[in-house]
Amino acid sequence: MTTHFITAEIDLQESPVQLNQAIEVELQKRGEPLRWAVTSVDIEKQKAHVEAIVTVESDVNAANPA
Protein backbone atom coordinates (compact mmCIF):
# COMPACT_ATOMS: atom_id res chain seq x y z
CA MET A 1 0.00 0.00 0.00
CA THR A 2 1.30 3.45 -0.88
CA THR A 3 0.13 6.93 0.03
CA HIS A 4 -0.15 9.82 -2.40
CA PHE A 5 -0.74 13.55 -2.03
CA ILE A 6 -3.24 14.68 -4.66
CA THR A 7 -5.07 17.83 -5.67
CA ALA A 8 -8.42 18.10 -7.41
CA GLU A 9 -10.79 20.74 -8.71
CA ILE A 10 -14.43 20.05 -7.94
CA ASP A 11 -17.42 21.95 -9.32
CA LEU A 12 -19.28 23.80 -6.59
CA GLN A 13 -22.64 22.21 -5.79
CA GLU A 14 -26.00 23.50 -4.61
CA SER A 15 -25.45 22.36 -1.03
CA PRO A 16 -22.57 21.39 1.28
CA VAL A 17 -23.85 17.80 1.35
CA GLN A 18 -23.70 17.58 -2.45
CA LEU A 19 -20.22 19.12 -2.47
CA ASN A 20 -19.03 16.58 0.10
CA GLN A 21 -20.43 13.74 -2.03
CA ALA A 22 -18.82 15.11 -5.22
CA ILE A 23 -15.44 15.37 -3.47
CA GLU A 24 -15.65 11.83 -2.11
CA VAL A 25 -16.61 10.41 -5.52
CA GLU A 26 -13.68 12.15 -7.22
CA LEU A 27 -11.19 11.07 -4.56
CA GLN A 28 -12.36 7.44 -4.70
CA LYS A 29 -11.33 7.42 -8.38
CA ARG A 30 -7.74 8.02 -7.24
CA GLY A 31 -7.54 5.78 -4.17
CA GLU A 32 -8.91 5.44 -0.66
CA PRO A 33 -8.99 8.89 0.96
CA LEU A 34 -7.33 9.12 4.38
CA ARG A 35 -8.05 12.82 4.77
CA TRP A 36 -8.89 15.79 2.59
CA ALA A 37 -9.53 19.51 2.84
CA VAL A 38 -10.98 22.25 0.67
CA THR A 39 -8.01 24.61 0.47
CA SER A 40 -9.53 27.36 -1.68
CA VAL A 41 -12.63 28.28 -3.66
CA ASP A 42 -12.65 30.07 -7.01
CA ILE A 43 -15.98 31.90 -7.06
CA GLU A 44 -15.59 33.06 -10.68
CA LYS A 45 -14.94 29.53 -11.98
CA GLN A 46 -17.28 27.94 -9.40
CA LYS A 47 -14.57 25.44 -8.37
CA ALA A 48 -13.41 24.12 -5.02
CA HIS A 49 -9.73 23.18 -4.78
CA VAL A 50 -9.16 20.07 -2.70
CA GLU A 51 -5.95 18.58 -1.32
CA ALA A 52 -6.00 14.98 -0.13
CA ILE A 53 -3.94 12.04 1.03
CA VAL A 54 -5.08 8.75 -0.51
CA THR A 55 -3.84 5.18 -0.24
CA VAL A 56 -3.49 2.90 -3.23
CA GLU A 57 -3.00 -0.85 -3.09
CA SER A 58 0.46 -1.78 -4.36
CA ASP A 59 0.74 -4.28 -7.17
CA VAL A 60 2.91 -6.99 -5.61
CA ASN A 61 4.02 -8.25 -9.04
CA ALA A 62 5.18 -4.77 -10.08
CA ALA A 63 7.36 -4.44 -6.98
CA ASN A 64 8.81 -7.96 -7.29
CA PRO A 65 8.99 -8.95 -10.96
CA ALA A 66 9.50 -12.66 -11.58
Q: How many domains does the chain have?
A: 1
The pLDDT mean for the chain works out to 92
> pLDDT band for position 64 (50/70/90)?
low
In a domain, 49, yes or no: yes
In a domain, 30, yes or no: yes
In a domain, 38, yes or no: yes
Nearest-angstrom CA–CA distance, 38 and 19: 10
Range of the domain at 47: 2-60
Q: What is the pTM of this model?
A: 0.81
> pLDDT band for position 12 (50/70/90)?
very high
In a domain, 65, yes or no: no
What pLDDT is attached to residue 58? 81
> pLDDT band for position 37 (50/70/90)?
very high
DSSP character string of 32-64: EEEEEEEEEEETTTTEEEEEEEEEE---HHHHS
> pLDDT band for position 66 (50/70/90)?
low
In this structure, are residues 12 and 3 in contact, taking their beta carbons and an 8 Å threshold? Answer: no
Q: Which residues pair with 55 in a beta bridge?
A: 3, 32
